[in-house]
Every structure is written in C-alpha cells, then in structure tokens.
Amino acid sequence: MSKISAYIIAWNEADKIRSAINSVLWADEIVLADSFSKDSTAEIAAAMGARVVQIEFRGFGDLRNQAMAACTHDWIFSLDADERCTTEARDEILATIDLPNPADAYYIPRRNFFMGRWIKHSGFWPDYRQPQLFRKGALRFKGDDPVHEEYEVVSDKPAAYLQQSIWQFPYKNLEEVAHKANRYSTLGAKKLQQRGRQARMFTALSRGLWSFFHMYILKKGILDGWPGFVIAVGNFEGTWYKYAKLHELTAGWQPPDTPPLRREANGGKAN
C-alpha cells in the first residue's frame, strides 16, 4: 500500500484549520506549512497530530516548494486551509495511488460554497487549481512567484484528472472578500513589477471592468444570484487594485519635503 503525505499551507487560519485537518486524518502524514501565524493555528494543528513546519513567507511559489520538501512520503496531497477533502475524494485518491501504473500528477475538481449555496458558474465549477495529488518530485513551482504561482509537472506522463471533488469555502463572509482582494492585489502587483510591467490608472479601470464582465457575463456568474454578483465585484476590486498598486509601485510618488518651521524670537513671521 502506497503512503501519502497531506500538506496544508496556512497563515492565521485558526478558525479553519481544525476542519481542514479533520478532512485529511486518513493521510499517513499531515504537514502544516505555517508562516508564523499570530493566532493559534500552529497550536491547534500540533494538538491534532500535524507536524508543523514554520516557513517565512516569500511568496506562494517558495512556500509550496518548501512544504513539499517537508513531506516524507512518495505521494503528496495538497490542501489549502479553506479546502476540505470529501469521503468520495479520499476513496478515489487512495485507489489511484495504488494503481499499477498511475499518472504522476492529478488535478482535482473543487466545489465552492459561498453565501449559503454551491456556486455552479462564475468560473468556480469545475474549479481546478494546480495538480493537488502528485508523486513527490513530480511538481515544482516558480520560487519567486508571490501569488498565482506558476508550476511545472516534472514527468514524461501527462497530468490526469480525478472525478470526485473536494470542497472549498473561498470566503467566510463579505469582509473576507475585501480582505483577499486587498492581499492578493498587493502580491499580484509585485508579480507584475517583477516582470517589468507598467500600468496607468486607465489600465487599472479597464482591466477591472473586463474582469467583472468576464466573470459575471461570460462565465455566467449572473446565474449564481447574489453570490455571483459579489464574486464578480470582488474580482473587479482585486484586479483594479492590482494594477493601481502596480502604478503606485512604478510611479515612485514622494511627498514634498517639509522644512523646519520655527517661531522667530521677535514674534515675526515664521520661516
């Protein structure tokens, strides 16, 4: 029987980490790749039997590479703190890694739940991320990618697809929609800057509007009701701020110098 490691990346996810770990207790090893959380994420994970590895955050590409390196078994299952493995996915994963000649990497579909309903459109179904089941050494990420990390499947076999889905809870509430738009737009702006890109405010607006139109109309988010509209608006906001922040980074704005102002001894005008 093949053995498998499950790794979870997290930062300040005390309210989510218990459920995430509960969903992978079937794995032979659970590794929490924590980036020095300031809440009780690491303590909860350790109490549940996970091996906690502290990794300074330099971007998601580097974080995932180090998390994979910390895994000790031949197969790796990648899970984020807002994702949950299902019974059906567990059974398919365990059956797959014991096949006589499996692929070296597999994509796994994700079902997204937001605002009380399963999202069926908005580009959220089937929502494939990078391969989430793979042999150790068969996947590597671009180490300097801060977000939306690029990856490479290191195998002479093409990546395959599993049928059974895992769950994702992308946003706990509307506040988290805004929080993620802010955090990921900052990381996205840095990634664009690394590539030598520049942007004007018109670019930010046009990219944001296109992002909304693409998700709400072309990806049929309009059929998802309120959640679809909120997701599209959040996507607009994140895209707008990503390019606006890129413009801020490249513009190099500086406030004017403030000279020392003192009262003259004779009560005259200040310098």
Question: Cα dihedral sign for 216, 218, 221, 225?
Answer: positive
User: How high is the pLDDT of residue 270?
Assistant: 54
User: How high is the pLDDT of residue 271?
Assistant: 53
pTM over 0.95: no
User: How high is the pLDDT of residue 149?
Assistant: 77
Reading the chain (271 residues) residue by residue, the pLDDT tens digits are 899 999 999 999 999 999 999 999 999 999 999 999 999 999 999 999 999 999 999 888 899 999 999 999 999 999 999 999 999 999 999 999 999 999 999 999 999 999 999 999 999 998 898 999 999 999 999 877 677 778 999 999 999 999 999 999 999 899 999 998 998 899 899 889 988 998 888 999 999 999 999 999 999 999 999 999 999 999 999 999 999 999 999 888 889 999 999 988 765 555 5
- Answer whether 81's CB lies under 8 Å from 23's CB: no
Number of helices (H) and strands (E) in the chain: give both, helices first.
7, 13
User: How high is the pLDDT of residue 115?
Assistant: 95
**Whole-angstrom Cα distance, residue 241 to residue 123?**
21
- Provide the 3-class DSSP secondary structure of residue 6: strand
Nearest to 195 by CA among 251, 247, 145, 248: 145
- Provide the 3-class DSSP secondary structure of residue 5: strand
Please, what are the domains in the chain? 4-168 (3.90.550.10), 174-251 (no CATH)
